[in-house]
Every structure is written in structure tokens, then in C-alpha cells.
Structure 1
Amino acid sequence: MSRSPQVGIADGNGWRDHLAERADAIKSAGRWRSTRTYDSLGPSGTLDHGPDPVVTFASNDYLGLSSHPAVIEAASAATHRWGTGAGASRLICGTRPVHDELQAELADWKHTEAALVFPTGFAANLGVLTVLGGPGVRIVSDELNHASIIDGARLAGAEVAIYPHLDLAAASALITEWPGRSVLVTDAVFSMDGDAVDMEEAVERCAQLGAALVVDEAHSVWGPNLSGPAGPLDAPPVVRVGTLSKSLGAMGGFVAGPRAVIDLLVNAARPFIFSTGLSPGDAAAALAALHLVRSPEGRALVRRVRAHTDRLTPNHPSPIVPVIIGDEHRAVAASEDLLDLGYWVPAIRPPTVAPGTSRLRITLSAAHDDEHIDGLLAALDRLGLR
């Protein structure tokens, strides 16, 4: 016989108050967020059902491939052939021929023995770090690494050591003092500052110290990059993590590296084993986008977004250009002022960035035209933001 719950716990064990208190704390700190609806195909659309179009400089669709006709057609054709979802995890019955094709192309692109596709880039980082980490391993991580790297390191059950941003000498010291195996993990391009690691130095230091290297290339558009295999077969692994959702304009993530690492991920990476496989449409879209990236058209798109970036900040290493404001409220106000002028550049504030470093994060895309860039520069000048 079922028993009705004891509501003598009048407030549900304090949950109602707890949730309200947490929400109030965020609101009182001025950090409450909500999603905004952007209706667009490409860089211009309507925001929150407003009447006037705005141009976004917030998307990570760096090459504009999410709206490329060939990418859309590939997703449509795959969906008609295999359906909207994979139906199961990849190890059960969720692997389709397009997954195999995509992985082979990714491995060739990244000059590695093999590659493995995950449902998201976040899942890819969780998978690789929890498999390479563990008891007796030290994960040495840049202090500004992406949240997925931070969470993967925490879940790995390894010793975690943080080094100052881009200070590879400090990272080497943390590796040297550890008696066991080490993994150096770093973003290639950092998502909030748009700066980049010295990839050659990172590879050289790891090879000298016998440490594995994991590089998250999610925001790499024209580099830094690894040009080929790193070291002999018995060298510590160099593992390249990437996303299908930024420069490739689709959805998903991947890990590329030595066959031994990829085979182990298939058998031990929980985000791979226990997640439904990437949808066939997303896999096909990513494959079509990758073909474009590796073509003359793709190289022209890279040159275009680089030219846009140089108009804001010459020789900047990525299409991510921060405008540091500092105060959170001023950053939000600056974002709203830009929006009033027709340009959507969201404010980035704690906890995404450190207190006192709130900013506007401008991201450039090959989908922007010269008129978009002209307008943004004029708006920034008008508001005294550059």
C-alpha cells in the first residue's frame, strides 16, 4: 500500500528556500542571466522577436559554414537516409557510415593515426582527460583553460596542478617535480582572450619531460596548429581535441591522436560509451564543412575572417577580440549601447571571467561583410570603446 509523503517537512526539507536563496544571491550580485532568442540564418537577424534586425558579433561560427548551402544539403541528405538521431550509443548500434567517414577525414586533417567523434566538444574533453588521468597521474592545466577541461581534470581522479596563463616554464616545473606520469593540457586559442599558446614550445617541453600533451583546438581557425605527427611511436602521446560546432558550423566534438589512445577511449571514455551517438545529420554537416575547409574556398574563408580581425586588432592570433572594461555593470551597459546601434556583442562577466575583467567579446566571421565591419568599427568609436 502506498503511503503519502510526510509533509510534516513543510518546506520540503528546505529545498524551496535553498533554491530561492541561491537565485537571490546571483541576482543581487548582478549576474542573473537568461537566454535570448536570435532568429537568424547567418550573422543578421532579429533578437527577442524585435522589429529591427541586428548583426551579431557573438557567434563562434568563424567561417560561416553553418549556413553554407553544401553543409545544409549534406545534413538534409543524411537525415533523410538515416533519420534524425543515431538511436543508441555508438557501441550499441549508433555508429553510421558517416561517422566512420568523418573520423577518417578528421584523422587525416589532424595528421594522426585515428580520431573519435563525441556528441559535444565538452564531452570530448571529459572523455580524454578522465581516461588519461587517474590515480598517480598529475594533470597540469593552464589557469584560463575552458570549463570542459577544468571539469574533466576534476573528474579524472588525478592530481591537478594549475600553472599561470601561458607560462610553459612553470608548467614544466610542475611536471618535473611529480614522480609519476603527467598530462599537460591547454587550449590552443583561449576562448575569452583570443590569445594562443606557443604550440612548438608545448610539444618540445612535453617530449623532453615524457609528459602527454592534450591540446584543445576548438577555437583555432588559422592556428596555432600541429603540422604533423609528433615524435616516434614510443613517445608520450600528443592528443588533439576539437569541436565540430565552431569553424565547422555543425555540432559535436572529436579527439584525434595515436591509435592506442583512440582505441582506449572507445573502451573507457564514459561520455562516449554512455551517450547516444552524434546525429547523422550533424556528422554529415561536419564532414561537408571539413571538405570545404580543406578546399580553396575554405582557405579563402580563413583569409577573409583574418582580414576582418586585422581591421580591429592587426596580427591578433584569432577571431576573438576582447574589449576589456573591468566593471560588470559598465560591460553590460556597453553591450546594451551597442545593441541600440544594431550590433549584438554580449557582455562576458564573472564567473566566466575573473572579477574586474568583464568585457565585450567580439567574434568575427567570414559570414560578415565589409559593411558589417564598417558599422561595428563606427559603433565602437562612437561609444569610445576602442
Structure 2
Amino acid sequence: MMRSIALRLRTAPRRFPERLARFSTAMKTTSTDPLSLKVFEDLRDMKDAGTFKTERVIISPQRAKISVENRKEEVINMCANNYLGLSSDPELIEAAKEAMDTHGLGLSSVRFICGTQDIHKELEEKISNFHQTEDTILYPSCFDANAGFFETVLTKEDAIISDALNHASIIDGVRLCKAARFRFDHMCMKSLEENLIAAKDARIKMIATDGVFSMDGDIAPLDEICALAEKHGAYVFVDECHATGFIGPTGRGTPELKGVMDKVLVITSTLGKALGGATGGYTTGPAQLISLLRNKSRPYLFSNTLAPCVVGASLVVFDRLSKYLHTHTIASKCNKQNIRLFGKQYIIYNTYKHKYMEKTKCACVLLRIYTFMENHNKKTLLRDTSLRDKLEANTTYFREAMSG
């Protein structure tokens, strides 16, 4: 019996690559295999449309100036979500190392079995204090936080009224639940109110919006949204991934900026952008609601806990959230070079009226320096046929690159 198992283990690795080889060969031919044909056609269509994506390889830490594969000189990176320049911060790296020394590499468990350490609870408390909410629940990512919220909280008796340009994670989260779905025109309060009226018979009406929309840097008019929510008996859910840590007088995001911190029911955000750039997300809000998520939210219940190194670094981040990002410096310099920029305050971008601009040409000249920038194609933006170079500047960039 043992010999038979050993024989199967030795032979299995040989058979699997053979199947892959046949699949790969089929991809290059006019195969009638349905999966091969479907994948081949999808890839071909993306290449023909100019939307096929390739990964650009960085061979240095994430920072203002980075080294990229097949290029001798460093380039300035303006496409990361590293808004506060903390991704390679020495203090955070040291905190991550210390957390691994004291709490290990990982927990090999979900939270409710044996995956909760003291530092996880400490971080959740710090986040709650920061957002001035009752409780917080950590997730592997904010995508998971969004995916796990709507299905847990809402049923077919309820309604979700979502901004037309909300992030994909909100869209997917909405799809998972059975609530009635309404979509209002992007940041249009007239459209929002019309949809609230259409959803008037729902038991729970939940307005869902990004705080800052990452493509164009639009800032949601949360003051107006909250006023309409109060008028129509609705609740407000805000994704703050592109706002937490650097928008608002003390970095508490769009609700603080718009003066409605006490009127937003639920905030989701990420540790993977401004707050160190590693991984992890969270939902913060009323204690009873967070307790429900701990008991029923599937991405939380069935995903491994956040690694101690990330938690340790994040604890330091929330002690340092006093920096404030301004983009007016780069905007003024771009204007002097006749480069037209769009966007509001924090995320600025440049458009190119060229449908098939090569995405691989990510190093371009801006302000007479090489700049690593990000192209977004029309299928991502759903706005027009332009490609956009999104400049996501950070405090490290200003210190290092704009000093001259």
C-alpha cells in the first residue's frame, strides 16, 4: 500500500506537466477543446483591443526612486498608492521585524479559532480610536472587507444605492448579496435622491460610495450624501482606501474633510496604500455591527489572520498619522511645462487621446526627469477612450525629487 502511494507521488508530477503541455499546444492551434479555445479567444481579444496587461518588474523596494528591470538608471515612481511614502520606511520595517521576533511569521489559522493575538486586538482598537468609531474588524484586504459586508448585513428586504463609479470590490460585494440594487449617476445628488425614492419601500436603505474615487481623484460630497440619507432614512457606507491617512485636517479621511464623521455608519479602508503599503484591510463602525461581521462575514471567517509583521508595522503607522499631502507643488510645475492635469487635490492625472498607447511605455519624461507612471485604459475607466497617466505623488517624492 505504501509502495503504491509512493509510486503515485513519483509519477503524478510527470503527468500534470504533460497535460499542461497539451493545453499550451492547443492554445497555439485551432483546437476544438472548449477551454483552450475560450482562453485563446479572450487573450487575443484583449491584445487586439490594447487592454492586455503585462507586469512591470521592480528590482528595488517601493519608494520615490525605484530600479526597474532592463533599465540602468533609476526612475521616479508616481503610480504607486504610497501616498505617505511609508512603504519602505525604516521604522516600519524595524517594527515588522520585531513583531516577527515576538509573535512569529504567521498564525496558520483563522481569527476565531487560534488566529487572534494581542497585537491584532490592539490594532483594531487603535483604528477605532483613529476613526472615532466603536469597533473595528481586520480583513486580509479591503476587497475582502467590502465583499464581506453587504452579504452579511443585507437581505432581499433591503436596498443598496451605489455610485456608478464605485470600486470593483464594492460592485462585487453588492453582487453577492440579495438586496435590491440601485445605481445613481456619479456624484449626482439628483440621481441619488431619485434612487432613494425608488427604494422607499426597502427595510434598510444603504448608500455605498467611495470617499475618493481613485481614477480621477473625485471626492464624494459626503455632506450632501449624508443629508439625503437623513432625509430618506438611509445609512451611509464609505470606502476610504484612497483617503485614510492623508485627507482631512488630521488624516481621518473624507468624513472628516466633509464634517460628517458622526453621520457615516460604516467605513472600510486598507493598510495597503498610504498606511505602509503591505496588505490588510478593515471595517470600522458600530460595535454590534462589527460583532455581526465577526460571526457571519465569510471572508473574515474563512481567511487566515493578518500576519504579525503587518500588524506590528501598522501599529506604528497609526501613531504617526500627522502628515498631510499636498499636490499643488507638482501641479504648478506641470503647468509650467504645459502638461494639462486633472483631478482634485490628492490624485492628479494626465490624459492621452490615443486608444492604443502602449502600456509598457511606463517610463516617460515629465519635468525633465524620468517618471514611472501608470496607464489606465478605457475598459478600466468606463469613461472615454483616453488613456490616463495617474500621478499618485507621495511625501517621500516631494522630499527627494522636488527639493531642487
Specify the TM-score bucket, using the shorter chain as the normaliser: 0.7 to 0.9
Aligned residues: 361
In structure 2, relative to structure 1, the CA distance for the partners of 1:62 and 1:229 (3 Å cut) is closer
Q: Would you say 1:363 and 2:380 are equivalent positions? A: no
Q: Would you say 1:26 and 2:46 are equivalent positions? A: yes
1:321 corresponds, among 344, 348, 370, to 348
How far, CA to CA, are the matches of 1:316 and 1:356 in structure 2? 18
How far, CA to CA, are the matches of 1:130 and 1:338 in structure 2? 46
Tell me, which stretches of 5 or more residues in structure 1 are unaligned?
232-236, 376-386
Q: Would you say 1:130 and 2:151 are equivalent positions? A: yes
How far, CA to CA, are the matches of 1:174 and 1:245 in structure 2? 33
Percentage of matched positions with identical amino acids = 28
Q: Using the TM superposition, give the Cα deviation of residue 131 of structure 1 relative to its aligned residue in structure 2, in angstroms.
A: 1.8
SS in 2 for 1:135: coil
Q: Is the 8 A contact 1:217 1:242 kept in 2?
A: yes
SS in 1 for 2:255: coil
1:351 corresponds, among 362, 375, 379, to 379
Alignment correspondent of 1:69: 90
Alignment correspondent of 1:240: 267
Q: Using the TM superposition, give the Cα deviation of residue 338 of structure 1 relative to its aligned residue in structure 2, in angstroms.
A: 3.4
Counterpart residue type for residue 17 of structure 1 = L
In structure 2, relative to structure 1, the CA distance for the partners of 1:76 and 1:131 (3 Å cut) is same
Task: State the TM-score, normalizing by the size of structure 2.
Answer: 0.82
How far, CA to CA, are the matches of 1:32 and 1:229 in structure 2? 41
2:115 corresponds, among 94, 116, 135, to 94
How far, CA to CA, are the matches of 1:373 and 1:331 in structure 2? 28
In structure 2, relative to structure 1, the CA distance for the partners of 1:274 and 1:165 (3 Å cut) is same
How far, CA to CA, are the matches of 2:103 and 2:316 in structure 1? 16
Mapping for residues 104-143 of structure 1, pairs under 5 Å = 104-143=125-164
Deviations 1:133-157 (A, max 9, x none): 3212221111111111111111112
Alignment correspondent of 2:77: 56
Alignment correspondent of 2:60: 40
Q: Is the 8 A contact 1:331 1:360 kept in 2?
A: no
How far, CA to CA, are the matches of 2:304 and 2:229 in structure 1? 34
Q: Using the TM superposition, give the Cα deviation of residue 207 of structure 1 relative to its aligned residue in structure 2, in angstroms.
A: 2.0
Counterpart residue type for residue 239 of structure 1 = V
Q: Is the 8 A contact 1:119 1:253 kept in 2?
A: yes
Q: Is the 8 A contact 1:346 1:360 kept in 2?
A: yes
SS in 1 for 2:91: helix
Mapping for residues 1-386 of structure 1, pairs under 5 Å = 13-41=33-61, 42-178=63-199, 179-180=201-202, 181-220=204-243, 221-223=246-248, 224-226=254-256, 230=262, 238-249=265-276, 250-293=278-321, 298-299=322-323, 302-303=324-325, 307-308=329-330, 317-330=344-357, 332=359, 335-338=362-365, 342-354=370-382, 355-369=384-398, 372-373=401-402
Counterpart residue type for residue 289 of structure 2 = V
Q: Using the TM superposition, give the Cα deviation of residue 345 of structure 1 relative to its aligned residue in structure 2, in angstroms.
A: 0.7
How far, CA to CA, are the matches of 2:280 and 2:150 in structure 1? 17
How far, CA to CA, are the matches of 1:328 and 1:373 in structure 2? 32
| CA RMSD in angstroms, aligned pairs only | 2.9
Q: Using the TM superposition, give the Cα deviation of residue 169 of structure 1 relative to its aligned residue in structure 2, in angstroms.
A: 2.7
How far, CA to CA, are the matches of 1:126 and 1:333 in structure 2? 31
Counterpart residue type for residue 362 of structure 1 = L
Q: Is the 8 A contact 2:363 2:371 kept in 1?
A: no
Counterpart residue type for residue 157 of structure 1 = K
Q: Is the 8 A contact 1:222 1:318 kept in 2?
A: no
How far, CA to CA, are the matches of 2:99 and 2:72 in structure 1? 35
In structure 2, relative to structure 1, the CA distance for the partners of 1:92 and 1:206 (3 Å cut) is same
In structure 2, relative to structure 1, the CA distance for the partners of 1:327 and 1:182 (3 Å cut) is farther
SS in 1 for 2:391: strand
Deviations 1:330-377 (A, max 9, x none): 4748745439952111211032112413211111100113662489xx
In structure 2, relative to structure 1, the CA distance for the partners of 1:95 and 1:307 (3 Å cut) is farther
How far, CA to CA, are the matches of 1:182 and 1:228 in structure 2? 18
Mark the structure with the bigger radius of gyration: 2
Q: Is the 8 A contact 2:364 2:372 kept in 1?
A: no
In structure 2, relative to structure 1, the CA distance for the partners of 1:143 and 1:304 (3 Å cut) is closer
Q: Using the TM superposition, give the Cα deviation of residue 306 of structure 1 relative to its aligned residue in structure 2, in angstroms.
A: 6.3
Question: 35-44 vs 19-28, which deviates more?
Answer: 35-44
Task: State the TM-score, normalizing by the size of structure 1.
Answer: 0.85
Alignment correspondent of 2:23: none
In structure 2, relative to structure 1, the CA distance for the partners of 1:76 and 1:323 (3 Å cut) is same
How far, CA to CA, are the matches of 1:169 and 1:283 in structure 2? 42
Tell me, which stretches of 5 or more residues in structure 2 are unaligned?
1-7, 9-14, 20-25, 249-253, 336-340
